[in-house]
Amino acid sequence: MSASPADLPEFLPFKLDLVGRRVLWLRLSAQQREEAAFLDDRAVPANAEGGWMPLASLPAEVPHDDAADAIFHIGHCGSTLLSRVLGAWPELQGLREPLPLRSLAEAWPQLGRAESRLSEAEAPQLLRALWSNWSRALLPWRRSVVKATSNCNGLIAPLLAHTQLRALLLDMPLRPYLATLLKSPNSVLDAASAAGERLRDLQARGHAQGVALHALSLPQQCAMGWLAERVRYAAHAAGAQGARVLRVDFETLLAQPEATLHVIAAHLSLDPAGVPRALSSPAWGRYSKAQSHDYSRNDRAHDLTLALQRHGADIAEGEAWVEAALRREPALQAVTGA
């Protein structure tokens, strides 16, 4: 490309190669960004325009009015729907699950170790540079909201420390969460793949000492991950940057959409006049990851009822693991809502 990507807002940093110390820049139009459920290989257009450039091609700061805000979540809890509904505000560009954020989340636990590809000083600089670029909205948008992948929650703390973002932390109660996962083997594997980092974070916060991942069944790993994220989210909400995070319950969003969207709009400094447009968004009645498929709130309720019937034993196993954890540590009851 003849010009620097820093001067071309239609280009996004699309992939990060820390071994080769390079970044893939890809041109994506406003329509392509809006349609993409995931900014991964599925979003690469035919005859894609872009190329690999050194990490130094990421400018330290890209001019923009506001830092991109963020949606963090526990996985399979309505985050794509929420991202699409927020698109009812015409100024908001939604960027869903950019791959470089996942690459950084995987690299972050190695910081300070001999095998780390990034130094402890370089990593936050790279994180800021990426976030600065994603904050630069493509016209007609003026602001961005980045939806992270569910295994990126370890980056909440560094992003709060190194940017001015405001974050939504999305989850749901344990039973519908387990039912949602267990009706799909791929969803269970997604949650299990994140379980190691979640257990490590839970133990770093002083809980679940002595628990070993290899000793947990898949339903127990899913339940442990849910507990770990509740603890993490509660810590962020009560921390020094607590005013910049808002916890959102997906079941409450579905049951009380107008009131919940008003709270979200206030947190993100969005015009409350946009709430009626958000309530009438067609995203409510479509499958969020594939907008061509109808999928209403009633369809979801029907699927959960079937999952509770078909996977009742596994759901009970996961719930029992959390109940045992609460008996060992009663203080966790405030975190889980028990």
Asked if the model's pLDDT at residue 287 lies above 70, the reply is no
What pLDDT does residue 1 have?
A: 47
The upper half-sphere exposure of residue 261, i.e. CA atoms within 13 Å in the direction of its Cβ, equals: 25
Who contacts 225 (Cβ-Cβ below 8 Å, separation ≥6)? Answer: 74, 191, 194, 195, 198, 199
What pLDDT does residue 3 have?
A: 63
> Residue 333 pairs with which residues in a beta bridge?
none
The pTM of this model reads: 0.95
Whether residue 251 contacts residue 176, with contact meaning beta carbons closer than 8 Å, is answered with yes
What pLDDT does residue 335 have?
A: 84
Coil/strand/helix, residue 78: coil
Region 86-112: mean pLDDT is 96
What pLDDT does residue 6 have?
A: 66
What pLDDT does residue 232 have?
A: 97
What's 148's DSSP letter? P
N- to C-terminal Cα distance for the chain?
56
> Residue 294 pairs with which residues in a beta bridge?
286
Region 73-92: mean pLDDT is 96
Distance between CA 259 and CA 263 in Å, rounded? 7
Distance between CA 170 and CA 119 in Å, rounded? 31
Which residue ranges make up each domain of the chain? 67-336
- For residue range 180-234, list pLDDT tens digits in order: 999 999 999 999 999 999 999 999 999 999 999 999 999 999 999 999 999 999 9
Percent of the chain with pLDDT over 70: 95
- For residue range 162-181, list pLDDT tens digits in order: 999 999 999 999 999 999 99
Whether residue 297 contacts residue 305, with contact meaning beta carbons closer than 8 Å, is answered with no
Percent of the chain with pLDDT over 90: 83
Who contacts 245 (Cβ-Cβ below 8 Å, separation ≥6)? Answer: 156, 160, 166, 167, 168, 169, 233, 236, 237
Domain 67-336 CATH class label: alpha beta
What pLDDT does residue 59 have?
A: 80
Region 119-134: mean pLDDT is 94
Q: What is the edge-to-edge ordering of all strands in the sheet holding 11-17?
A: 11-17, 22-27, 50-54
Burial tier of 142 (Cβ tally within 10 Å: 0-12, 13-18, 19+): middle
Region 61-69: mean pLDDT is 72
Asked if the model's pLDDT at residue 310 lies above 70, the reply is yes
